[in-house]
Amino acid sequence: MPQQRLLYLDGSHLSASLWQGGVLREEGHFPQNESGAAAFAEYLSQHRGSNFSMLADIADEGFQIETLPYTQGADRNALLARKLGQYFYGSPLATAVSYGREKSGRKDERFMLTALTRPQLFEPWLAALRAAEVQLAGIWSLPLLGGALLDKLQAGKKRCLLVSITRGGIRQSFYEDGQLKFSRLSPAAAAGAAEMAASCAAEVAKIHQYLLGQRLVARGAPLPVIALVHPAQSGIFLEQCKNSEELQITLQDQHAVCRLLKLKTLPQDSRSESLYLHLLAQNPPREQFAPPPERRFYRLWQTRNWLLKGGALVLLGCLLFAGRELVNALEARSATEALLQQAEADMQRYQSIQKTFPPMPASTDSLRAVINRFEDLEKRTAPIEATYLAVSRALGEVPKADIERIQWQLSANPDEGLLFQADARKPAPAASGNAMHATAVVHGLLPASMAADQRGQLETVNAFADALRRDAGLRVTIQRMPFDIESGKSLKSSSETEQAATQLKFVIHLSRKL
């Protein structure tokens, strides 16, 4: 953070002071001439890194109360610039202090337009500041700081006249509801405390007559007056500054005010410029007189400072985030190590328990292979209930048919067990894909009473096969009839037929895709 230096300008001199921690130390005193400007330039070259604030206490200061239509943004700036140019033509050191909007009517905004009307007095010093490229925060006047001083003193009076003695003379500022209305600097020759007290009493009486003439105060109404006086000179001022029906003078202990404002450098007499400089260093008013070109390097410093602060905040955020991630990583590593230790302890406990088991007839790998094989065989085992039910329903529909035996088989070939009697040389069809099929060869019997009725035998077997085909998932093939019906077979005598009558057998092949 750069050091803060304060410049105090009156009609004949410029003084420079270092303000640090409530301590004000004067570093230079420069007269209003060429040698003073050169010495000031040399002083600036030694303190280019500091921030400078200028406090002006000169008699050439104008005030004007104006009511303007309420505007915002660029229109407001243009309107104020035009009004300042009309009232204070030729002075760039001008500003407008807003006193808020009116309560009724169009609710216009009230301003106090003020300017330092003698810019030639500032030009040598501002030229030296520009040449040295130092950071000038702004230019203020004593009346702009008086409202803040009254707030600190808690002087809650509707109207008040604040009297201060400075190096430039006797400063009298009139405030109404804490708002500056008028200020005047009366030159005072260097004299003793008694002469200064008499001059203050005379100037207060003059300013009171002026306020009456301007109708800022009413006749017969008492005007509170607050005068900042050194405690050692309060008795002298009490003798000269008498209260009257129209003037109620209160002598404010200057050292008590300094302690209230936490100014550690106490004045040696009743001059109050150090008190105002301390107020400026603590809380400078928003409104000031320096135009933007004079504050260019201060704005650059502010921008650089904001960027540095923003970068520091980003860096701090990154460090905090990295620290949090590091803590999380350490916690995760600690948790991982704890889990590994717990897993190792569990493994040791398991091995110790496993040693207490009786010896197995086979190794664990062999048992695992057997179990896996059993599970695989169990998965390939096909249920036969559906085929049983189909055969049972067919027997119920064809009661003349009977079952001798059923041969079950699980195969990838749906024709497994099917005999191709028509052409023994024809090979069995190959299996299609990896699908498994449950096959059954049903050996059936017909009653002996149907031995002479070959047509009835044929119809019974076909009816039995049709009853099986009602199961959509069952593939039914008649493999053999009770008698030979193929054209290539030779005819048999009746004696042979009677011998085979006792064995009326047929064979049906069933296949179901799993």
pLDDT tens-place string over residues 55-87:
999 999 999 999 999 999 899 999 999 999 999
**Residues 351-367, mean pLDDT to the nearest whole number:** 82
CB 31 within 8 A of CB 39: no
**Residues 326-343, mean pLDDT to the nearest whole number:** 94
**Residues 309-315, mean pLDDT to the nearest whole number:** 94
Name the amino acid, one letter, at 228.
L
Domain residue spans in the chain?
4-60+118-290, 385-513
Lowest mean pLDDT among 257-266, 331-340, 350-359, 390-399: 350-359
- The tally of CA atoms less than 13 A away on the side-chain side of residue 351 is 6
423, pLDDT greater than 50: no
Distance separating alpha carbons of residues 172 and 180, to the nearest angstrom: 11
CB contact burial 239-275 (16+ within 10 A = b; e otherwise): ebbeeeebbebbbbebeebbeebebebebeebbbbbb
Tens of pLDDT, residue by residue over 253-305, are: 999 999 999 998 888 888 999 999 999 999 899 999 999 999 999 999 999 99
Structure tokens of 50?
Answer: 């500091």
343, pLDDT greater than 50: yes
Q: Name, of 214-223, 337-346, 463-472, 501-510, the range with top average pLDDT.
A: 337-346
Tens of pLDDT, residue by residue over 38-47, are: 999 999 999 9
CB contact burial 417-438 (16+ within 10 A = b; e otherwise): bbeeeeeeeeeeeeeeeeebbb
Parallel, antiparallel or unpaired: strands 23-31 and 13-20:
antiparallel
Name the amino acid, one letter, at 124.
P
Name the amino acid, one letter, at 11.
G
Structure tokens of 37?
Answer: 């400007």
Question: Which alpha helices (DSSP H) does 120-253 contain, by range?
Answer: 123-132, 142-153, 193-213, 234-240
CATH number 3.40.50.720 given to 4-60+118-290: no
Give me the count of residues in the chain.
514
356, pLDDT greater than 90: no
pLDDT interval class at 418 (50, 70, 90): confident
